[in-house]
Structure 1
């Protein structure tokens, strides 16, 4: 698999990074030991700065080394300086400047015998060949360089560069051999740097061969060494490889973390300010060296003038004049290149930010899909737990078993609410939830919510009060289901933390303009209150103020998070005022459409009825054996006869051969899904009620079920009274006022 951008790896700059500032170990002209040590110390500084990608500081150190070598007339150290200058400028992609110093080194090499200098010269040539895609010529030149010197640091860098070339040639075994030999090395100059690069090389090789687990491990090893030693380019490369490896493995959370770390590292490494400083320093030092060259030419002119060598003076003057003109041209060209590079950098940064955003979105989608699958899979066994508990409670259990069964039922209901909360949060985060627009009565909605929570209020000996503004129109347009969820969470939360007190629900009209009103809502309690510190994060997921509160009062801590997210769908924000020991007030405003000209004659409440199910025949379509047993036994409790279809294909065949009063259709089944089976059944039977009996996941759309031909939906696991009520409504309601499904 090809490594994505911005991985800086196989070609060009990366190979240059490997060889900059190689250890200069050979013996030079006999001279003062102090001066030699000073030059070596500057080389060591340049090497350290290079590995940390501080190119401007590396150039400054190298400039000092070259000046000292020239002052001491140490030709070999000057050759080393020119070679290292060439490598540094090659890292900055200044090929012409690279060749200038490379040529200067060659001129001096013609004057002295210096095998190490010749080896580095050929090493640079190998890199230039590799940059031009001449891989085999590059390997040939590396072998020639290897024959000229046996310096350990130089040999290690040859191995590393050769491994990169093998990797590019897809010679993975050879590349792996080279990288493995450098994982543990005894290099006195670049031990950690060589190990870091070797780990990255192994990770790249394993990514190419599809060995993503080992690639991730080696990328982590490289990243650890790079962060310990400040190797900024290797930090970028390590995070890039780690993100891609984890993505291929399926560790999406780790991939997202690595992607974020990658973006941070890139912002630091490729910042405009840093690039400008490096470019400015590189040009200044090159101009200074050019000026020194002109000065040397002037000195030669003066010497030749004294010897009356006019022809040579003329040639030197011409050369100096051309150099000055070249400097002016370089200056103009440099200014233009800075502008072009800045524009290109901005364009690249925009592209990288877009790519990072896309990767983050992909990781978020993967997380959402994972949670969707988990929530769905949890619902199936939970259906067995709640269903069997209900059946056992109805079968006259022993007195000592009733308490345990009730505890089991409570735990099942608690777990179901927790799963529903997580599913709800992820639907909102995934932008898969939108508010509906339908008619409702706000006063009745609030009364229903309060009535449903009266039992909890009595348990805490707390009074529930509704303060409702009667000037609010009776017929409003919005999403009553989501508004009910908001108030259920807010009022339920207030009741949880209020004992022997009051919870007041307030609805007051702020203003009305034509068919739009603004309503102020407030849920106020005189419970335990919330500290100032906890108020800042109380709306974050799984937050309940403190561990002690969580243990004492229970709950998931998702209720207020759901409220905040749901209100966001209505372009509204939840606000909070609270004081410890005195209570809390949650309030917000909503804009709603109203219909003043409608007469309120439709009852809002759903009337529950007791149905006589005896003698009914129902088809259960379910692939899970345990669920089949539970559903069939629940029907038999009401004296309902039931057939079972193990999949969608069997359901279609049984529906053709038999007449049923209703069909309970599971949606998620192997082979033909429930909605597909419903579509097929509706081709020959448009009357029989079909109720979707399924564990709904994040990606499920209720509209799809209805469009397929389902009459109603019961979500697993369900409350038995809801289950029987839905069956009765659809069977007996169809008999009294049925209308065929089109």
Structure 2
């Protein structure tokens, strides 16, 4: 930084001596760019604007169009950092017109890179990645290697934001390699931190820890007090030089004007007064810069304290997430026994008095399971363990299925559900089926719960459309009890239903709206609430869904309407389960469909059984002593690649269905499960 400012000062001296205005404007723009890049100190848009304005005046004067285009790019970046996104977009468009006119490939590629920075700052990671990748190869007469490193560094940031950790790590390592080769301190610092974060995302904690230590060492070497003092003095020196040259230009202009007229006494007095004022301003600017140096040192100290507090808060959040994950996982095993035995007892023709007790027990078990699932869902969202999936779906079918599943709930409170779907919405779209279903189920079931003898309206309307995507606005409106203005402020908080009285009267976990808000944020949307106490509530949000080719077949449209019946097929099953109670329950559920099974108590026994016998499918518990279900499955796959293996597990925070499928499983069924859902999944796999 110091050397850069020293070189820029030399450029200003040389350009003044040879009257090279183009180089002078370039120096001011490079100084502005350095100020934009200074992430370690306070951002001063006014200072940057003064440099760019002076450069713009010179470029207009000498008709330097390409220089002016680059000036607009820097103005756009300044507006982006200052959150003036509309101004930023206008400046980018002005620059694009100039570069297209002159067919300047290098400048067009740089513009793509800076557009990528703009999208990255707004959280539009997909478009940012596209712009960054299209900007390569990037070239610049002054800083080609630095710009190339910045492209890979920002690609790494964007990929990390969408949890594509492998791509993020690859780009961060490329940036780090360039940074090491050419000694770019800030590149080395930021890329080392991202490499550490990506290793953490890939659960490689040892490498994550090693790179975190490297990050701390680099940070300490960059932001030591002596270096920061030197940088601040270099900044102050260049700023004073800028003001000095501006003053000298004003003085020259004043002398020229004075020579044109008669040098009378009044002119001399005014000139002297002007020089006095300018001198006072120069002294004031110098003192202000000294104050800024002291302020920067204080800010560095406060930043260190804030970083320590942030690290402690993150450790506490991680400990809380792990604790809740462990608790919810451990609760599922005994809950499986409760729900499984209750289901079996209800099917064995109990007396009416026993049936009533068993139904109450089943209701309590289902309620507890819902509560545990909600806690796990919130925990996964907070731990950033959920990723957005893009797959074919039928939006109309999703809404109809949700409404049909809640028909009984609507009858309990004598409510009517009205579904209004825009006819322009096609049968096939691309989106996240599961997360959208969760959002609709939570919002519609809430509306039905808090409405009695009323109407719940659900609408889906296209508000924007182009060749590749549709923006659809969804609205769930009821005429129920409504929500007061005071309660609306925290209605989306965890475990909040507005008041203790409402919670006791209507029941529920108080996590539904928290999950809805978090899921919509993952889908790059936001939810709005309009409500009045005693009148009703309206929840509104919009989603951008991609269109798909009409000939594409969507798995989401395949519906199995037949009742599940496996009795006639006489399947033979291997059940791998270390818990004796779970063994009994699962075996009885299997026997209900006329299936026979062998039971393995651990993973080693499961491998021996699978090698010695022929099974139609294998039910594999995951968390077992000795060897886990995942390791046992990998061993079985070495000699048997065709027998379906189904993970039968109590899902925890770190469990992910895609990971199970990569490890050789065909399906995942979470415990405790509904037997009918269990039978359907078995039938689907075996057919």
Do the structures match in fold with TM over 0.5?
Answer: yes
- 2:660 maps to 1:726: no
Q: 1:592 aligns with which of 545, 555, 570?
A: 545
Question: In the alignment, what sits opposite 1:383?
Answer: 336
The structural deviation recorded for 1:341 is 6.2
- 2:534 maps to 1:581: yes
Question: In the alignment, what sits opposite 2:212?
Answer: none
Please list, as runs of the form range in 1=range in 2, the aligned pairs for 1:389-404 lying within 5 A after superposition: 389-404=342-357
Q: 2:614 aligns with which of 645, 650, 659?
A: 659
Question: In the alignment, what sits opposite 1:301?
Answer: none
Q: 2:574 aligns with which of 619, 623, 634?
A: 619
- 2:387 maps to 1:424: no
- 2:554 maps to 1:630: no
Question: In the alignment, what sits opposite 2:491?
Answer: 538
**What SS does the corresponding residue of 1:692 show, helix, strand or coil?**
strand
Question: In the alignment, what sits opposite 2:651?
Answer: 696
- Is residue 607–residue 636 contact of structure 2 (8 Å, CA) maintained in 1? yes
- Is residue 393–residue 554 contact of structure 2 (8 Å, CA) maintained in 1? no
The structural deviation recorded for 1:336 is 12
Question: In the alignment, what sits opposite 1:551?
Answer: 504
**What SS does the corresponding residue of 2:369 show, helix, strand or coil?**
helix
Q: 2:599 aligns with which of 630, 637, 644?
A: 644
**What SS does the corresponding residue of 2:538 show, helix, strand or coil?**
strand
The structural deviation recorded for 1:517 is 1.4
Q: 1:506 aligns with which of 446, 449, 459?
A: 459
- 2:315 maps to 1:356: no
Q: CA RMSD in A?
A: 2.0
Q: Judging changes above 3 Å, is the alpha-carbon distance between structure 1 residues 651 and 580 closer, same or farther for their aligned structure 2 residues?
A: same
Q: Judging changes above 3 Å, is the alpha-carbon distance between structure 1 residues 336 and 710 closer, same or farther for their aligned structure 2 residues?
A: closer
- Is residue 529–residue 580 contact of structure 1 (8 Å, CA) maintained in 2? yes
Q: 2:663 aligns with which of 684, 708, 720?
A: 708
- Is residue 603–residue 627 contact of structure 2 (8 Å, CA) maintained in 1? yes
**So what's the TM-score if we normalise by structure 1?**
0.52
Q: Judging changes above 3 Å, is the alpha-carbon distance between structure 1 residues 606 and 359 closer, same or farther for their aligned structure 2 residues?
A: farther
The structural deviation recorded for 1:348 is 2.5
Structure 1 runs not aligned, ≥5 long:
1-334, 734-742
**So what's the TM-score if we normalise by structure 2?**
0.56
- Is residue 474–residue 600 contact of structure 1 (8 Å, CA) maintained in 2? no
Q: 1:470 aligns with which of 394, 415, 423?
A: 423
Question: Could you list the per-position Cα deviations for residues 667-694 of structure 1 after superposition, in whole angstroms to 9, with x for gaps in the alignment?
Answer: 1112211111111101111111111111
Q: Quick one: distance in 2 between partners of 1:442 and 1:423?
A: 26
The structural deviation recorded for 1:339 is 7.9
- Is residue 473–residue 595 contact of structure 1 (8 Å, CA) maintained in 2? no
**What SS does the corresponding residue of 1:506 show, helix, strand or coil?**
strand
**What SS does the corresponding residue of 1:577 show, helix, strand or coil?**
strand
- Is residue 608–residue 725 contact of structure 1 (8 Å, CA) maintained in 2? no
The structural deviation recorded for 1:599 is 6.5
Q: Quick one: distance in 1 between partners of 2:297 and 2:537?
A: 54
The structural deviation recorded for 1:604 is 4.0
Q: Quick one: distance in 2 between partners of 1:361 and 1:676?
A: 32
- Is residue 392–residue 428 contact of structure 2 (8 Å, CA) maintained in 1? yes
**What SS does the corresponding residue of 1:470 show, helix, strand or coil?**
coil
Q: Quick one: distance in 1 between partners of 2:617 and 2:542?
A: 44
Please list, as runs of the form range in 1=range in 2, the aligned pairs for 1:46-445 lying within 5 A after superposition: 342-445=295-398
Q: Quick one: distance in 1 between partners of 2:655 and 2:337?
A: 21
The structural deviation recorded for 1:535 is 1.2
- Is residue 444–residue 604 contact of structure 1 (8 Å, CA) maintained in 2? no
Question: Could you list the per-position Cα deviations for residues 559-599 of structure 1 after superposition, in whole angstroms to 9, with x for gaps in the alignment?
Answer: 11111111111121111111122111111111111125446
Question: In the alignment, what sits opposite 1:562?
Answer: 515
Q: Quick one: distance in 1 between partners of 2:614 and 2:396?
A: 44
Question: Could you list the per-position Cα deviations for residues 384-425 of structure 1 after superposition, in whole angstroms to 9, with x for gaps in the alignment?
Answer: 000000111111112111001000000000000101001001
- Is residue 574–residue 598 contact of structure 2 (8 Å, CA) maintained in 1? yes
Question: Could you list the per-position Cα deviations for residues 149-183 of structure 1 after superposition, in whole angstroms to 9, with x for gaps in the alignment?
Answer: xxxxxxxxxxxxxxxxxxxxxxxxxxxxxxxxxxx
Alignment: residue pair count: 399
Question: Could you list the per-position Cα deviations for residues 431-451 of structure 1 after superposition, in whole angstroms to 9, with x for gaps in the alignment?
Answer: 111211111111111111111
The structural deviation recorded for 1:601 is 8.0
